[in-house]
Amino acid sequence: MTAEQQRPVQMIARGKIVTMDTGRRIIEDGAIAIDKGVILAVGTNAEISARYSPAEELGGSDALLMPGFIDAHTHCTQCFVRGLTSGELPMIPRIYNPAQRVLTAAEAASTVRLLSAQMLRAGVTTLCEGTLNPDHESAILETLEEVGIRSVLARGRADQDFHHASLYSQINDRSWAKARDGEAEADLLRTEALLQRFPSRGNGLIHAAVNASALLGFSPRYFTDGAALARRFDTTLQVHTGRDREEVEFCLDVWKRRPIERLYDLGVVDEHLVAVHAVLASEQEIEILAAGNAALAHSPIECVANLNAIPNLPRFRAAGIRVALGCDNQANDMFATMRAAWLVHGARWGVERFDAEFLPAGALLEMATIESASCLRIEHVTGSLEAGKAADFLVLDGTAPHFMAAQDVPSELVRYGSRAEIVQTIVAGRVLYDRGNFTTIDMQALREEASAGADKVRQEVASRRYRPLPAF
Ligand SMILES: [Zn+2]
């Protein structure tokens, strides 16, 4: 083929390609042709170079190319508070929630910029906000569009009053829940508008979804109508469930059922459901999720940092449940998160059985890319390097010492890889992170914004902490 017959394209990326396609192919001397942000073809360097003429070239013979990571669970406005929570368990209603409520729209935008910078630096090309806060909705949307990272945004506002009678007060008291009439319908109309604007199955950078964050704050009507909306728009219904003892206690007291049993009674356990955490899921509840083809969003570092429990991941996997890994604002780094999953579950389920195969590296890589995309119902657009999908990928430095003499690429990525080896992070064909530089984030301005935001949040939560704040 002569040069005249080559098709001009936006970009060619070259290197060893970890495709994560159906055959999980690894192409040794590979190349990816990209045009208008979409992958046109993946093949050998010789094949692609003969067919396409690029305006821009990335990678090279020493590079390693892989799909961008998909962080399946985060909260966009927790960056200023997360460092104030260590050693303060339990703390979600006491510290996390008030710290987010106090943010102005501009400060919420700053947290999104900071979160995005951390993620892009660590190779995350898609984030999933599990509880898009309606108070900060437009600031978050505008900032994500400005940054250019891909996102799944599960939106919803609680519509139920509740009272949790804690263990000791249950002698004289009971827990209860009461819906605020009409709020579910009104709020789901807003989520429907968001789904129309940002379809889950569309090709845009933002994919809307439905959030019914917890059984305590969201009414039965919200769950059933929210699940119907998720089915109609082929998106996800995201629910924190089986997260802590208080929730299990509450559900047993009010409905005589454990949390996932209650979700089953409400008729919302299907392939659209993403069960977030489920660290306290019983055997029966795991069976319920499996029978409904629901997915699990699992954040292994958060399990240790805040939840004080880990799910029986081998049991979930054996039941055929799809699993997506998330950072939940802990490392904001999927290399760290994959490695945490390997170590946490290895110590809990592998070491004690002398079972080195309890969770293979390839499975962890899937849970951080293509399986995560499937859980979030965006596998049509991202999660693997295949023709027709968006060009969401990473260029890694194959000459870095930790990747030299690599023998088994999936294992070496999971066990030894880190964000230090990331050269570039590309979303929809746009280089957003490039050798220490961010192309859509003003890092100097962000440093000032983040410092001011962190000071404000620090003052807000100081009196809520059990222990005095450490001195700088
Ligand atoms: Zn969460």
Q: Domain extents for the chain?
A: 3-67+385-436, 69-375
Distance (Å) from CA 337 to ligand 1 centroid: 15
CATH code, 69-375: 3.20.20.140
Using the mean position of ligand 1's atoms as its centre, give its distance from the Cα of residue 241 in Å: 10
* Angstrom distance (rounded) from CA 174 to CA 253: 7
Residues within 5 Å of ion ligand 1, judged at the Cβ atom? 130
What pLDDT band is residue 59 in, cutting at 50, 70 and 90?
Answer: very high
Tens digits of per-residue pLDDT, 160-184? 999 999 888 989 999 999 999 999 9
Sheet with 7-18: strands ordered across: 38-44, 26-35, 7-18, 52-67, 393-397, 422-427, 430-434, 437-438
- 21 within 8 A of 362, measured Cβ to Cβ: no
CATH code for the part of the protein at 3-67+385-436: 2.30.40.10
Secondary structure letter of residue 471 according to DSSP: P
- 276 neighbors 130 (Cβ within 8 angstroms): yes
CA 131 / ligand 1 centre spacing (Å): 7
Q: For residue 277, report the distance from its CA to the centre of ligand 1, in Å.
A: 8
Is the pLDDT confidence value at 274 over 80? yes
pLDDT at 4: 60
Q: How far apart are CA 206 and CA 127, in angstroms?
A: 10
Give residue 158 CA to ligand 1 midpoint distance, Å: 14
Ligand 1 centroid distance, CA of 155 (Å): 13
Residue 299 Cα, ligand 1 centroid: separation in angstroms? 9
What's the CA-to-centroid distance between 130 and ligand 1, angstroms?
6
Answer for the pair 114, 170: CB distance below 8 angstroms, yes or no.
no
Where are the extended beta strands (E) located within 137-188? 150-155, 160-163, 176-179
Distances (CA, A) of 34 to 187, 385, 398: 40, 11, 21
pLDDT in tens, 33-49: 999 999 999 999 999 99
Say what the pLDDT of residue 360 is. Answer: 93
Q: Decide if pLDDT at 123 tops 60.
A: yes
- The pTM of the full predicted model, rounded to 2 decimals, is 0.96
Confidence at 374, pLDDT banded by 50, 70, 90:
very high
pLDDT of residue 357: 83
